[in-house]
Amino acid sequence: MRLIFLGPPGVGKGTQAKRICEHYNIIHLSTGDILRGEMAAKTEIGEKAKSFMDKGALVPDDVLLGMMNNRLKKDDAQNGYLLDGFPRTIPQAGGLINIMDDLSHSLNCALSLTADEDGLVQRLIKRGKASGRSDDTPDIIRQRQNVYWKQTAPLLDFYRKKNLLKEVDGIGEIPEITDRILEVLK
Ligand code: AMP
């Protein structure tokens, strides 16, 4: 099973991704988590990413594509994966097609979790207080929502046209949403 999770910041992609990965026994690749790890380790990628992430802007496509090209080649990715937070732009989606073609991987589904924006901002402000994530402050949260609607939402049409898009309502109890997702993936 190879999946992409799409949805605005705060919709619960990370939480659902973990549950879906357990169900299918596939790996969860969150580019936000990978980039935060690179930043903490002060690698070259981490140093490049930091200024973009702190502003709530997207890290350049070539950085993401190089990083994911390496990551998807690894042994643990050969049984399947869920991509959480990648691709985020049309050029990244195009690049991902090439990466997957080279590995003879096919995509099963791009799953979009949906929710209204005001609820999401409140949820993220709470998360920021709890986790201390430096990009979960109200201004940066708004900025990240804007980036999603401008740069990432066009991917919905991109995958819809390929007949790969499934949309799931992301509002409700965590187990209930997981059930909805598993139902559309059947
Ligand atoms: P996330 O944890 O998915 O909300 O990502 C946190 C931040 O990491 C984003 O605001 C971006 O700065 C950066 N990031 C994560 N994934 C990508 C991506 N696919 N393309 C560009 N930037 C990304």
pLDDT digits (tens, 9 = 90+) for 49-92: 999 999 999 999 999 999 999 999 999 999 999 999 999 999 99
The better pLDDT of the pair 81, 171 is held by: 81
Tell me the average pLDDT across 99-120: 93
Helix axes 117-131, 138-147, angle to 10 degrees: 130
Residue 21 to residue 13: CA distance in whole angstroms? 12
144 in catalytic set = yes
**What pLDDT score does 22 carry?**
98
Percent pLDDT > 90 in the chain is 82
117 pLDDT above the threshold of 80: no
Compute, in angstroms, the gap from residue 42 CA to the centroid of ligand 1: 17
Compute, in angstroms, the gap from residue 172 CA to the centroid of ligand 1: 25
Number of domains in the chain: 1
Q: Which of 35, 86, 146 to mutate to test the pocket of ligand 1 (most atoms within 8 A of CB)?
A: 35
pLDDT band at 136 (very low <50, low <70, confident <90, very high): confident
86 CB under 6 A from ligand 1?
yes
CATH code of the domain covering residue 67: 3.40.50.300
pLDDT band at 30 (very low <50, low <70, confident <90, very high): very high
Q: Which of 58, 61, 89 to mutate to test the pocket of ligand 1 (most atoms within 8 A of CB)?
A: 58
Q: Is 103 exposed, middle or buried (CB count within 10 Å of its CB: 0-12, 13-18, 19+)?
A: middle
Q: What is the per-residue pLDDT across 41-54, written as a single tens digit (0 to 9) for each?
A: 999 999 999 999 99
* Residue among 48, 133, 142, 160 flagged as catalytic: 133
45 CB under 6 A from ligand 1?
no
Compute, in angstroms, the gap from residue 169 CA to the centroid of ligand 1: 22
Domain range for 112: 2-185
Residue 118 to residue 161: CA distance in whole angstroms? 29
**What pLDDT score does 71 carry?**
97
Among protein residues, the one whose CA lies closest to atom 5 of ligand 1: 32
Q: What distances in angstroms separate CA 19 from CA 15, 71, 82, one per listed residue?
A: 7, 21, 11
